[in-house]
């Protein structure tokens, strides 16, 4: 490590360098602030401290200090000058100098003592910065671990619901991926699309609460059975709702505004809304609220299209998968009645990418 000495007096530079070299320091020399700044910039990895005069030609010490603290804020700067003393010392310290020694320097032990002080201060600053960086790293790692665990729990919950009528669980993955794709096509931000990818798979989590005799019935459902089946929307919202009590969860899920305004995790709010609203229809004939048009949140309108499309093309215990063309025909025919026409338009504009997702995650 080296100490940079900047002074326009060659004899003083040499005597200071000789003294510091006797103490096993390496030294670098410069005759003015401009040369000193160039030397510092070229040797940032080796310069441990700077001793600088104030009154010099080309670039004075004040200007050097101003540039140096921008280039290397953690390198100690000690001013060695006899100009004006108090006023100049204060000005230099305000510029960023660490300490001040007055000329003439009759006792070099003063320089040794001053360097020891600034080295100790630099060590403490460095250790504190390293501690803060390490602490921030640990916090980021812990946050990532918690975020990963939370996402895994959400994914496994969606898979648990899907296993009731689709053992592979790939339907929920496809719904998430295609929903994110359509969200991007509909102008959602990248962070919103990522949230949609994570939350859309939970849209049918309420199936957990539907009896198998109804959920897996091979024939047509009776009206009373349909009434039970439709409850999976509110069941899903309540499963993802507040943990304070079942009554509180039911209260929140009884009104869409409550769902959208409910506190807690942003992802859970979105997942609740999707579970509750993915069977709402553009024409207002859906459930559970009978919302119409743009009163239905956009993300729910997206999932409505994706869920129906993928379910039509998937085998279930109570039905065989429809051919691809039949699936597309049903989506197209539902534009303006069951589905938001803009979402359907985006769907067909991205049909090749959607087909690639279905192929990648096929059952």
Q: Which residue among 103, 117, 164, 207 is the active-site one?
A: 207
The answer to whether residues 252 and 221 touch, using CB atoms and an 8 Å cutoff, is: no
| Sole residue written with tokens 């230099």 | 92
CB 276 within 8 A of CB 235: no
Beta sheet of 99-102, edge-to-edge order: 26-30, 2-6, 47-52, 77-81, 99-102
Contact 288, 230 (CB under 8 A): yes
Stated as kind and residue range, the H or E segment containing 196 is helix 190-199
Is 217 annotated in the active site? no
What is the residue whose two structure tokens read 């069977």? 279
Determine the Cα–Cα distance for residues 103 and 81; give it in Å rounded to an integer: 5
CA distances from 285 to 46, 279, 280, 288, 306 (A): 75, 9, 7, 9, 18
How far apart are the C-alpha atoms of 14 and 282, rounded to whole Å?
A: 86
Neighbours of 14 (CB within 10 A): 14
Alpha-carbon distances, residue 167 vs 10, 139, 310, 315 (angstroms): 85, 38, 15, 10
330-337 contacts at long range (C-beta below 8 A, 24 or more positions apart): 331/305, 334/308, 336/282, 336/283, 337/281, 337/282, 337/283
Active site residues: 207
């Amino acid at each position: 490590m080296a100490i940079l000495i900047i002074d326009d007096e060659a004899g003083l530079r040499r005597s200071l360098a000789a003294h510091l070299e006797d103490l096993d320091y390496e030294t670098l020399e410069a005759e003015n602030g401009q040369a000193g700044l160039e030397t510092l910039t070229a040797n940032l990895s080796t310069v441990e401290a700077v001793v600088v005069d104030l009154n010099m030609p080309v670039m004075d010490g004040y200007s050097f200090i101003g540039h140096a603290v921008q280039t290397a804020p953690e390198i100690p700067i000690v001013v060695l000058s006899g100009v004006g003393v108090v006023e100049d010392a204060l000005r230099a310290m305000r510029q960023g100098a660490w300490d001040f020694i007055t000329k003439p320097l009759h006792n070099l032990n003063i320089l040794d003592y001053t360097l020891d002080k600034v080295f100790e201060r630099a060590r403490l600053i460095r250790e504190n910065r390293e501690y803060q960086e390490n602490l921030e790293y640990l916090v980021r790692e812990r946050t990532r671990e918690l975020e990963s665990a939370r996402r895994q729990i959400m994914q496994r919950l969606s898979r648990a619901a899907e296993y009731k009528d689709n053992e592979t669980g790939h339907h929920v993955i496809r719904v998430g991926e295609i929903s994110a794709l359509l969200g991007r096509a509909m102008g959602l931000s990248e962070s919103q699309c990522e949230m949609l990818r994570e939350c859309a798979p939970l849209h049918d989590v309420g199936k957990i609460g539907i009896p198998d005799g109804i959920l897996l019935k091979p024939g047509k459902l009776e009206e009373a059975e349909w009434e039970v089946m439709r409850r999976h929307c509110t069941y899903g919202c309540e499963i993802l709702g507040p943990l304070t009590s079942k009554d509180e969860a039911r209260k929140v899920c009884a009104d869409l505004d409550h769902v959208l305004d409910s506190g807690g995790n942003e992802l859970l709010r979105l997942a609740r809304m999707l579970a509750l609203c993915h069977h709402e229809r553009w024409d207002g004939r859906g459930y559970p609220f009978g919302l119409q048009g743009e009163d239905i949140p956009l993300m729910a309108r997206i999932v409505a299209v994706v869920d129906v499309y993928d379910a039509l093309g998937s085998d279930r215990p109570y039905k065989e998968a429809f051919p691809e063309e039949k699936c597309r025909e049903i989506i197209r025919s539902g534009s303006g009645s069951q589905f938001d026409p803009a979402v359907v338009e985006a769907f067909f504009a991205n049909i090749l990418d959607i087909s690639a997702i279905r192929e990648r995650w096929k059952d």
